[in-house]
Amino acid sequence: MAKERIAMGASIGFVGMVALAVIAGSIYALLHLLHTQRRRAEVRGVQWVQALRMLLMHVQRHRGLVSMYHNGELSVMEEIVLLRETIARDLGKISFVGEWINENQDWQGLTQHWARLSVGCLSMTSEKSFDQHCRIIVSVLAILEDVANYHYLNRSNFNEVKVLWHELLLIGELVGQSRALGVRILGYRSGDVQLSEHKKRIQAGLCEIEGLLGKASTRKKLSTSDMAALVEFIAFVRIQLIDNIGPVSANEYFTKATDTIDLIYERFDIEMQLLCRQLGIDK
């Protein structure tokens, strides 16, 4: 009897060990599955962020060129047409990444809004075109933030990565607004009642850029030369547009602002490459 009890106890113990091993294996498999799913989501999130960054840059440039067109610079029409085709490809690439974004109502609204604006912006007033472009850009930035949140890219163990789609892209957009409004100011015609409002908006944007540059998180992402170039651009805009001292042309101003925007996007791309390395994503 004693031997039977010992044998039964051993059997129960063995069954318990097997059950624990099965449970442990199941937990490991579940954790591995969750890790794999998260990793796939992170990779897809990076793909969307990079594609949305291209869309953002192209819509901003389109806004500036349309502003020049409204100023009578008809030579930009060819580039406007080419840029529309580029933006159409951007939209297609973003949709192709995955179904999540195609089911996003904000994305659906953005694509419909762009379809209307792309064919109607030249017949609008300059002010309405500027406003509608800005609305689309705000939507792109909001979707980019949603992508980052939903695909785990805002996790604390990534080195202040939120600065990329907050401070850096906001600085880029503020410079982009000053580009579009600036060429309008430089093409000023007598009786343009919006001139004063344009200057006020640019001045407010410059002050906002200065505030962002004063943040430690922003300074960590920008090199010394980046900071110097942005400070120099702010001074340049104030001299040319606010104080009316400089003799710069609309085309020269557009180029100067574009160079500054390119600087921001180059820094953004460098930081995205660092993020990809953290995630182990091959570029």
Q: What is the pLDDT of residue 153?
A: 79
Q: Number of helices (H) and strands (E) in the chain: give both, helices first.
A: 11, 0
Three-class SS state of 223:
coil
| pLDDT, averaged across the chain | 85
- pLDDT interval class at 190 (50, 70, 90): low
Question: For the chain, how big is the Rg over CA atoms in Å?
Answer: 26
For residues 225-250, average pLDDT: 91
Q: What is the pLDDT of residue 217?
A: 86
Nearest-angstrom CA–CA distance, 46 and 246: 42
More confident residue, 38 or 112: 112
pLDDT in tens, 103-147: 999 999 999 999 999 999 999 999 999 999 999 999 999 999 888
**How would DSSP label each residue in 150-192?**
HTTTT-TTSTTTHHIIIIIHHHHHHHHHHHHHHHHHHT--TT-
Q: What is the pLDDT of residue 16?
A: 58
Q: What is the pLDDT of residue 19?
A: 54
Its sign, for the CA torsion 271, 230, 198, 118, is negative
For residues 35-41, average pLDDT: 61
pLDDT above 60 (res 53): yes
Instruction: Give the closest residue to 67 by CA, choosing from 170, 173, 141, 177.
Output: 177
Q: What is the pLDDT of residue 22?
A: 53
Q: What is the pLDDT of residue 115?
A: 96
Q: What is the pLDDT of residue 135?
A: 97
For residues 275-279, average pLDDT: 78
pLDDT in tens, 71-81: 899 999 999 99
Percent above pLDDT 90 for the chain? 54
For residues 37-44, average pLDDT: 70
For residues 15-37, average pLDDT: 50
pLDDT in tens, 147-183: 888 877 776 555 566 777 788 999 999 999 999 999 9
Q: What is the pLDDT of residue 136?
A: 97
> Quick one: which H or E segment has residue 119?
helix 105-120
